[in-house]
Copies of this chain bind each other. A is one copy, B any other.
Amino acid sequence: MNTNAFRTLSYGVYVVSTWDRGRATGCVANSAMQITSSPATVAVSINHDNYTNRCIADCGRFAIAVLSEQTDPSIIGTFGFQSGEKTDKFADTAYAIRGNLPVIEDACAYLVCEVIDKMETETHTVFLGKVVDADVLKGGDPMTYAYYHKVVKGKSPKNAPTYIPEETQSGQKWVCSVCGYVYDGETPFEELPEDFVCPICKQPKSVFEKK
């Protein structure tokens, strides 16, 4: 089996959010799709290890914010590379309450869903949600997972269904130990100012490792 074939499936990039007993939480997901048009239902796949998974199960509702190519990449760092159990991901993120759920503002559109069914797999839960609210926010071109990899140069969080362990890279590259971003700027990494932060996850220069 050639797992490179899996990389040809197309996805968007989403922030799936819900309530954690009254506190807003969420995570990045790319496995979301519309299942039926009437009544509108969508499916989203969330890893069992993601704190958001149990929060969705408890709350019975989730929102999908569709990231656009214009969305600040730090959103992916905040929501994709930290656990919502210990971090208040919404603390520094603009959001509004839509359809009774917290939805980030920096997105091209959103859908709010009520869980109507779910299917368990070994590692992920597929939540089936009936759409109860949806609207366009900032518009723009939706970010595809391919765009994220090619342009934003991010890496998959380990909990993503699409995660493939990468071989250790040879050569002299500085890699963010939090999100895997590989620095490729013209200025040598050592000469970057001390307040340089990872453009993806906003972690400081000190978390970068030479690989």
User: What residues of chain A have their CB less than 8 Å away from a CB belonging to chain B?
Assistant: 1-6, 8-12, 31-43, 45, 66, 68, 108-111, 117, 119, 121-124, 126, 128, 131-136, 141-146, 160-164
- List chain B residues, Cβ under 8 A from A128: 119, 121, 126
Whether A2 pairs with B119 at a CB distance below 8 angstroms is no
Least Cβ–Cβ distance between A62 and chain B, in angstroms: 14
Given contacts A10-B145, A34-B45, A35-B161, 7 further A-B contacts (CB under 8 A): A5-B66, A5-B110, A6-B34, A9-B33, A11-B33, A35-B45, A37-B161
Instruction: Enumerate 30 A-B pairs (CB-CB under 8 Å) in ascending A order.
Output: A1-B40, A1-B132, A1-B133, A1-B135, A6-B37, A6-B131, A8-B68, A9-B12, A9-B42, A9-B66, A10-B10, A10-B142, A10-B145, A31-B35, A33-B33, A33-B45, A34-B45, A34-B162, A35-B45, A35-B126, A35-B161, A36-B123, A37-B160, A37-B164, A39-B122, A43-B119, A117-B119, A119-B119, A141-B146, A144-B146
